[in-house]
Amino acid sequence: MLRLERRPQPSRTWVWAAPVLAVVLTMLAGGVLFAALGKDPVAAIRLIFWDPLFSQQFAAFSRPQLLVKAAPLILIAIGLAIGFRANIWNIGAEGQYIIGALCAAAVALAFFPAGPVDARFLGLEFTMDSAPSRWWLFPLMIAAGAAGGFVWAMIPAILKTRFNTNEILVSLLLVYVAEKLLAAAALGWLRNPEGAGFPGSRNLSRFPEAANLELIPNTGMHWGVVAAIIAVIFGYILLHRHMLGFQVQLAGQAPRAARFAGVAPARLVIFCLGLSGLMAGMAGMFEVTGPARMITIDFNAGYGFVAIIVAFLGRLHPVGIVLAGFLMALTYIGGELAQFTLGLPSAAIQVFQGMLLFFLLALDMLSNYRIRLTAREVTP
């Protein structure tokens, strides 16, 4: 008879082997799924995991996309992981991401050059000769995005600390509110006045001071990637080299001990939710000014939710999150490729990502428990 025996300490081997095995199992199960959809499973898996990086035909386009897609996932996941370690569940990062993007776009559009600066008749895309350079605008937008995400996350944080309201439900419900706000903005107060009545804001990529452009051509490197790198380093120092990280860990594993050790639970809730909201808001800012280019009704691509998978897959560890972020980015890019070339439905990738989390959670058992084969127990 199989019996589970709790390990005194999680197995270090399995903690890191579980995600690798989970990916392999997901590929197998995904293959079955793709076959069931009438697609060649080997070709589909190859298209998702290999071709974006190494195929002659696609890699030139796909490789830069890897950074573009991984950066927001990593940036959000780092913030979430810190909270998850302390058993503080911010699952509304998607909402904080949207609000961050809205705030940043609002700041940018408030400073949109008033006069007609269209110089296309001169053969130029854009000129800004008359106005003095406004170098401060972009940093201001980053601050606005971070503040937006922070404030949105403060709602569940304060409700949790003041009224003991469940932060999981509140942060999640606020995603729907944020989505409605996004729709209201795209149709109303942020709509492009020269957009012929179509929903959506002005195109921020045509506004050089506010645009988050590629820093090195054809690499996908933009300011969001820089922010993600800083976040990873910051997260590592905080979690592994700083007292606060120890407190976070302690609060998650032994809340009573943490209280005796002088960790104020309320302050920790504010800190964890605030930090993850701030990071999600910044991710939204870099996205709307960069790859997304403008506010549209559905500009959010679910990064806030997929980042939850990234955080778990990366073992709530900054280095793991980087690897997991690239892997999930790959499934996005490969999924798009498979959509174009094989006609694989985009929802199949969502299923794929969900399955990955299932397998991971199942295999995690192996890091916390030992499977023992025992003779059938006799009840004393």
Partner 1 sequence: MIASMDLSSINPVVLAAALMVAATPILLAAIGELVVEKAGVLNLGVEGMMITGAVTGFAFAVATGNPYLGMLAAVAGGAGLALIFALLTQYLMANQVATGLALTLFGLGFSALLGQGYSGVSPPRTPRMDFGPLADIPVLGPILFRHDPLVYVSLIIVAAVWWFLRYSRAGRILRAVGENHDAAHALGYRVRLVRVAAIAFGGACAGLGGAYLSLIRVPQWTEGMTAGAGWIALALVVFAAWRPWRALLGAYLFGGIVTLQLTLQAAGWRIPVEYLAMAPYLVTIVVLVIMSSGRARRTLSAPGSLGRPFHAAG
89 vs 236 by CB, closer to partner 1: 89
d(CA 230, CA 189): 33
**What amino acid occupies position 197?**
G
Residue 8 Cβ, how far from partner 1 at the closest point, in Å? 13
175 vs 278 by CB, closer to partner 1: 175
What tokens appear for 48 in the block?
């998702």
d(CA 218, CA 229): 19
285 vs 349 by CB, closer to partner 1: 349
Residue among 8, 3, 23 at smallest CA distance from 314: 23
d(CA 175, CA 184): 14
59 vs 181 by CB, closer to partner 1: 181
Residue 361 Cβ, how far from partner 1 at the closest point, in Å? 4
106 vs 349 by CB, closer to partner 1: 349
Give the 3-state secondary structure of residue 2.
strand
Residue 243 Cβ, how far from partner 1 at the closest point, in Å? 26
In the complex, the residues that contact partner 1 under the rule CB under 8 A are 4, 6, 37, 89, 91, 159, 162-166, 168-170, 172-177, 180-181, 183-184, 187-188, 305, 308-309, 312, 345-355, 357-358, 361-362, 364-365, 368-369
Residue 306 Cβ, how far from partner 1 at the closest point, in Å? 8
Residue 240 Cβ, how far from partner 1 at the closest point, in Å? 22
Give the 3-state secondary structure of residue 371.
strand
Residue 270 Cβ, how far from partner 1 at the closest point, in Å? 17
d(CA 215, CA 223): 7
The DSSP annotation for 133-161 comes to P-TTHHHHHHHHHHHHHHHHHHHHHHHHH
128 vs 357 by CB, closer to partner 1: 357
